[in-house]
Amino acid sequence: MEKVCFTRYIAPRSARYIAPRSARCISYGSRDRSIFLDKPVYLFIIIKMDKTVLNKIARSEGVSVEYLQESIRSGETVVPLNIKRRKIKKPTAIGKGLKTKVNANIGSSPDQVDVGYELEKLKVALEAGTDTVMDLSTGGDLYNIRKAILKKCSVPLGTVPIYQACVDVVKFKHKSIVEMSVDELFNAIEKHCEDGVDFITVHCGVTLESVERLREQGRLTDVVSRGGTFLIEWMVYNKKENPLYEYYDRLLDIAKEYEVTLSLGDGLRPGSLADATDRPQIQELIIIGELVDRARERGVQTMVEGPGHIPLNEVATNVMLEKKLCRNAPFYVLGPLVTDVAPGYDHITAAIGGASAAAYGTDFLCYVTPSEHLSLPTVEDVREGVVAMRIAAHAGDIAKGIANSDRWDHKMSNFRKHLKWDKMIKTAIDPKKAKEIRDRNPSKSKDVCTMCGEYCAIKHIGDIFKKPRR
C-alpha cells in the first residue's frame, strides 16, 4: 500500500482547508490508473482515471494537467466521472479557473412519458453544446429511461435518486412516500451509481432544525425543491432526522466506491425573490459546508447547489457566501432567476442571473427553459435553454478573466469588420439560427444586411479608411 503522510504538512497560501489531525495519514491502493498524492497537500481527493482523460480536459480548458490535478486535490474542482464511464466522449471539469459549465435537464413526468422524445431532447442538448445532462424523470419506467439516456449520453450524466426511491415506493410497493424506509432510499442511490451515473443531487442539508426554523419564520413560497419536499414530508411525519444527513457516511461509502460526485442539493432554496437569502437558506448552506469538509476527508468529490430565485443585487452575496462557507467548493446554481414575472421567458431571466453569477465566481449553471413554471419542456425549449445559458456562461467567463475567453469574440468582430458573412455565421454560438435569420430576409447586396442596406456603417467606414489621405 502506498502511504501519503501529512505529519509535515505545510499548506500553500491559497489553502482554505486543513485536514483534521486524526486524518493526516491515509493509505490508497496502488492502482496503475491512480493519480497519487505525490506531495503534501490539504485534501484527500484522489481520482482514479486514465491520465488521457485529464490531458483531454486540460487541453480544452487551456490549463496544465498539473493545475487541474492540484485543483482537484484541493476540492476546488470536480471531474464528474463514474468509474464505469471512463470512456465517455466529452468528460468535463467544473471549478476554479475553468470555463463556466452548463447543464441541461431532461426527463419524463407522470403526465408525459416518451423515452424516444427524451432521447431527442438529449440529442438537441448535446448539439447545442451542453456540458452535462441531468435525467430528472419521475414518470414511466425510470430504470429503462435512465439506461437509454446513459447509453446515448456523451457527457457526464446526473440524477436525483430520491425521485426513484419515492416513485418506486408509491408505484410498486403501494405505500406513501412517508413510509419509505432508509434502506429503500439508499438502495435507489446505490442503483443509480451502479448504473454509471456520474453525479447525483442529494439534499443532505435539510435537517429537522432547519425545517423548524422555516416553519417559524414563514415564507411566501415555502419549499419549491421536489427532493426537499419529499424529505421534509418524510421527516415531519416520522419525526426523524433526514436519512441523508443522519447516515451521511453511508452515502460517502457509496460515492467513493463508484467515484460519483455528490452535488449537495439546496432543498430549502428560495422559490421567489421575497424568500431569497433568508435564514433557512443560509442555515442549510452552513450545514452543507460542513458536509463538504467531511466528504473531502473521505476523498469524495463534492459541489454545492444554489438558488433559485435571487434579486440581481443579491447574486454576488450568494456566491460569496457559498465560497466562504463551503471552502471554495464548485458552485452550481439554477439560473438564478432574477425576477418572478416572466413565465415563458424564464430562459432570459435565468441567463441574466447566470451571467452575473458566473462573473462573480459561480462554476456551473443549470439551464432554465421557456417552459419553466409552465410545463415539461419541448425539444425546442431545450435548445433555447442551452444556448441562452451558454451565452450567460461565456459572458461570465469574460468578466472573471478566464484565459483566452474573449478570443471567440475577437474572431467574430474581425469577421464583422470585413463583412465575411459565412464565417460570422459559422462562428456564432448558434450557427443554424443565425443562418435562418439572414436567409429569411436577404439584402440586395450580398456584403451587407437589410438593417442598414447601402448605408452600412462598417462598409462606409471601411471604404473611407481605404482611401489614401490627402
* Span 376-398, average pLDDT: 98
Torsion-angle region of 30 (φ positive above 0: left; ψ -120 to 50: alpha; else: beta): beta
Count CA within 13 A, CB hemisphere, residue 349. 24
pLDDT at res. 35: 39
Answer yes or no: is pLDDT of 10 > 80.
no
**For the segment 105-116, what is each residue's pLDDT rounded down to a tens digit?**
999 999 999 999
**For the segment 183-204, what is each residue's pLDDT rounded down to a tens digit?**
999 999 999 999 999 999 999 9
More confident residue, 44 or 407: 407
Q: Which of 399, 270, 242 is nearest to 333 (CA)?
A: 270
Could you state, in order of their start, the residue ranges of all structural domains in the chain?
A: 2-74, 94-399, 407-466
Percentage above 70 pLDDT, the chain:
89
Answer yes or no: is pLDDT of 45 > 80.
no
Amino acid at 74: S
For residues 329 and 287, the answer to whether their CB atoms sit within 8 Å is no
Answer yes or no: is pLDDT of 44 > 60.
no
pLDDT at res. 108: 97
CATH number of 94-399: 3.20.20.540
Which band of pLDDT confidence, cut at 50, 70 and 90, is reported for residue 47?
Answer: low
User: Helix 115-128 to helix 379-399 angle, to the nearest 10 degrees?
Assistant: 30
DSSP string, 339-364: -SS-TT-HHHHHHHHHHHHHHTT--E
pLDDT at res. 464: 84
Would the pTM of this model clear 0.85, i.e. be above it?
Answer: yes
Which band of pLDDT confidence, cut at 50, 70 and 90, is reported for residue 462?
Answer: confident
* Span 314-326, average pLDDT: 98
